[in-house]
Amino acid sequence: MTTGGFSPKRLSRVRELLDHHVDAGFAPGMVAVLARHGEVHIEATGTLAFGGAGSNMPMTGDTICRMTSMTKPITAACAMTLVDDGTLRLDDPVDDLLPELADMTVLADPNGPLENTVPAHRSITLRDLLTFTLGTGMVLAEPGTVPIGDALDALDQPSPDEWIGRLGSLPLVHQPGERWMYDTAADVTGVLIARATGRSLGDALRERICGPLGMKDTAFSVDSESIGRMSTAYQRDNAPTGEPVVEDGPDGQWSRPPVFEAGGSGLVSTANDYLAFALALLAGGS
């Protein structure tokens, strides 16, 4: 056993698993970070890209990766700091800060026409946002089969104010608090945080979460000094001719600040940064 209680045999199995995926061409590189009883162990293998920029740079604990939905816990933690300091309350309506979501209507039939609605029984609360029960979210349906699914897919992500206005113009799929629906609530929480703090979501996260925890590489974009540490994102399936297909390179979407800082999926971070956040949760938020 190591100092922290890690099994060397099982750590080698982690390494074998990462090597297997890299050797099979699933990804150019992989990194895993583990912590136990104060000991931190990082396993990294491969490079930041299959070819081109980053193809000779090894994957490390400081490699910058797109966090996608692992953005959601950081957004939620930031919202809870606002509850902690009394700026927000879990069970108060969000109507004052998000008037676009006040007096909502709800579909009479979740699969039916958008015009067939009933009034919402009550207002949406922060608790609804954090538990993904505000009444709307990801609709898993084939395009053209469920009207509200098509309408939600067409929202895009313009400025936060325009996006929340578009969302509020649609009926809810279910009554607030009635049913869990994935994804959208985290983006709404991000808009709420920005309005409650009078700052952008990125600035609020930096001030309340990332700065205090030393998460220097966690943000909604990557600056020019750090872009060389950013991994290339690939589509899951290769091209018909067999080569990997780039979905987003270091000079792509995250190389510049976004118009919409998405609280549900927009952050980049590193294994080291995200470990700091996870350890803070493990310590009860301290």
Query: What is d(CA 60, CA 113) in angstroms, rounded to the nearest whole number?
Result: 50
Question: How wide is the angle at C-alpha 157 spanned by C-alphas 153 and 162, nearest 5°?
Answer: 110
**What's the gap between Cα 222 and its chain centre?**
16
- Token output for 157: 């992500």
Largest CA distance in the chain: 64
Q: Using an 8 Å Cβ cutoff, are 114 and 151 in contact?
A: yes
Q: In the chain, where does DSSP find H-type helix?
A: 8-23, 71-84, 126-130, 147-153, 160-168, 184-197, 201-205, 211-213, 271-282
Task: For residue 64, give the DSSP letter.
Answer: B
**286 has catalytic annotation:** no
Element (H, E) at 106: strand 105-107
Using DSSP's 3-state secondary structure scheme, residue 268 falls into strand
Q: Which amino acid is at 79?
A: A
Choose, from 7, 12, 55, 69, the residue flagged as catalytic: 69
Check residue 172 and report its DSSP letter. Answer: B
Task: Give me the active site residues, please.
Answer: 69
